[in-house]
Structure 1
């Protein structure tokens, strides 16, 4: 039984993850200094699934496009060389090339790092591995977990927080005339004098109550209403309630104390969680290890020690390819 809820991946989220893995391998291959072990690991990864090969093809096409001028630009350049015709061009071919390259780079960055756009839209956000506490104008406290972004609307009798991504814990100053609502992907959580967390990870929204009472509902109908009390959580997916259960709030919200607690979690789930908090990528090179179950406690400020623990205590091979890329198996 797993105490800390670790998100499963939707097909779209899995596609994004594979794209990131393929991007990592692309740059390692471009560096030209892969060891024999690394090349063998890459070949195993590539042959593991057609989806891996498809992701690699997409990455190669997209990243190579950054180095290749657009055919349309070349055609326009050639079209300007017609004899005896003098036209005043608003932009030079060199400018067009630079603009095209900039557009490709911008599109690539936003594709690989959609969080950048969310950060721009947000009022407060955290980077990977960062936590941040905020005191709102009404006196309520918000603790942002790693890689989280929120928008704050405090106007008149309206108090609304939009959770754009990530996870946050709320200690609300209750005011009956000014309801406090947190919205995450169409899931509304209304405070009734409480402390609670809301997470928006992959394709799921999870609400967990540590004190008091909240009411959750789906926009725009806002029915049916789920009333959650201390020690209860609700999980939503695709605008539907998929699970409601009792929880151990100390374990569920251990991240507030700088810890990750796993009880019989798969290595795949553990790696996914470590990647949430650690800059870089922890990849499982041996598919047979993905479903191995472990029980462990890791500290968020010592995740490199956590990786060493996987080797020292559980015998899992660890290969540090770079400071960014670590392979298990």
Structure 2
């Protein structure tokens, strides 16, 4: 006898497969072979039809290819009642969901759901969302990459250069008095000889664990670099590089230990953390929600706990297609 757990897993599997088919059929270049394979999948199990309908309703519109395939009703089981649209697919919510689909199709579904794909494709070293990785660079320096991070490395005779394309990384730099170690991360440049430090490109933050780091804003040359020592940090603030501040060793680089510590941070920052923890876009139905704040300590491999906190602490609602998109609304 099939258990409730088995039934739930079957439904989740059908939902994942339906989502994949929804994306593939929305591709204007979808081949006839793809459509034939879709028909075979759809006929294989009545649960596939239900899952496809649910995914289509979820995003506000059934894509044209799937609608044409379903027009004759050959895939329906005659003794199963037609599904009625859910109540939450009305008004502003339906409009927001339809907007997500429009953006996805216009920009290309794959790139829309994973904005870091192109950066990672052209990087020397990269991690996908949800993946964390330690690597040894050519000079022996250790680099620990958080999720959705990409970097290029150039070890020259006079300078060791890292270009951080996206994400955040912690370096334990091998000392070399003849070849400084430089990291370019957007507007922020960091230069060291031998030290351990972390840098977050999107946040424009550099944090030193050991040694000394000179940090510069490439767009502002006056005043010279900001020099950081152990457990000091500096960040881009209001368009310029701020002053060094002391940081809590237990919190400053907690992400490297697999922890995400949030202390009254706006949801716009929470979304950045979620993008590192799991694949798929996070979208706000109302942009004003970005200014709400959240506190808590979470494991970096448990994005579901962050979403649960949004629901319980802020009374927000979450609608998610795993690996594709998550919609946050009231």
1:270 matched to 2:301: no
Asked whether the equivalents of residues 232 and 245 of structure 1 are also in contact (C-alpha less than 8 Å), the reply is: yes
> 1:43: Cα distance to partner?
5.0
2:143 matched to which residue of 1?
142
> 1:286: Cα distance to partner?
5.9
Asked whether the equivalents of residues 122 and 149 of structure 1 are also in contact (C-alpha less than 8 Å), the reply is: yes
2:103 to 40, 59, 62: 59
Whole-angstrom CA distance in 1 between matches of 2:161 and 2:118: 21
Equivalent residues in 2 for 1:295-306, closer than 5 Å: 295-306=295-306
Whole-angstrom CA distance in 2 between matches of 1:293 and 1:143: 28
Whole-angstrom CA distance in 1 between matches of 2:101 and 2:303: 32
> 1:229: Cα distance to partner?
0.9
What SS does structure 2 have at the residue aligned with 1:30? coil
Whole-angstrom CA distance in 2 between matches of 1:292 and 1:61: 30
1:199 matched to which residue of 2?
200
2:87 matched to which residue of 1?
36
Give the TM-score normalised by the residue count of structure 2: 0.64
Whole-angstrom CA distance in 2 between matches of 1:58 and 1:322: 16
1:119 matched to which residue of 2?
120
**Structure-2 change in CA distance of 1:177 and 1:125 (3 Å):** same
Asked whether the equivalents of residues 158 and 179 of structure 1 are also in contact (C-alpha less than 8 Å), the reply is: yes
Whole-angstrom CA distance in 2 between matches of 1:278 and 1:212: 33
**Structure-2 change in CA distance of 1:272 and 1:134 (3 Å):** closer
Deviation by residue 1:103-157 (Cα, 9 ceiling, x = unmatched): xx6xx86677553332232110111111110112222100011111111111323
Whole-angstrom CA distance in 2 between matches of 1:303 and 1:45: 23
Whole-angstrom CA distance in 1 between matches of 2:213 and 2:131: 27
> 1:211: Cα distance to partner?
1.2
Asked whether the equivalents of residues 226 and 244 of structure 2 are also in contact (C-alpha less than 8 Å), the reply is: no
What SS does structure 2 have at the residue aligned with 1:169? strand
Whole-angstrom CA distance in 2 between matches of 1:196 and 1:308: 32
1:226 matched to which residue of 2?
226
Which protein has greater RCO, CA pairs closer than 8 Å, 6+ apart? 1
**Structure-2 change in CA distance of 1:305 and 1:182 (3 Å):** same
Give the TM-score normalised by the residue count of structure 1: 0.64
Deviation by residue 1:3-48 (Cα, 9 ceiling, x = unmatched): xxxxxxxxxxxxxxxxxxxxx99981233786321333525749xx
Q: Which runs of 5+ in 2 are unaligned?
A: 1-54, 64-82
2:207 matched to which residue of 1?
208
**Structure-2 change in CA distance of 1:287 and 1:153 (3 Å):** closer
Whole-angstrom CA distance in 1 between matches of 2:320 and 2:113: 21
> 1:261: Cα distance to partner?
0.7
> 1:59: Cα distance to partner?
3.4
Asked whether the equivalents of residues 192 and 215 of structure 1 are also in contact (C-alpha less than 8 Å), the reply is: no
**Structure-2 change in CA distance of 1:112 and 1:196 (3 Å):** same
Q: Which runs of 5+ in 1 are unaligned?
A: 1-23, 47-52, 64-104
Greater alpha carbon shift after TM alignment, 118-127 vs 35-44: 35-44
Equivalent residues in 2 for 1:151-230, closer than 5 Å: 151-201=152-202, 204-219=203-218, 224-230=224-230
Asked whether the equivalents of residues 316 and 328 of structure 1 are also in contact (C-alpha less than 8 Å), the reply is: no
> 1:289: Cα distance to partner?
5.0
> 1:259: Cα distance to partner?
1.0
Name the Cα RMSD after superposition: 3.6
- Between the two proteins, the alignment pairs up a number of residues equal to 253
Asked whether the equivalents of residues 167 and 198 of structure 1 are also in contact (C-alpha less than 8 Å), the reply is: yes
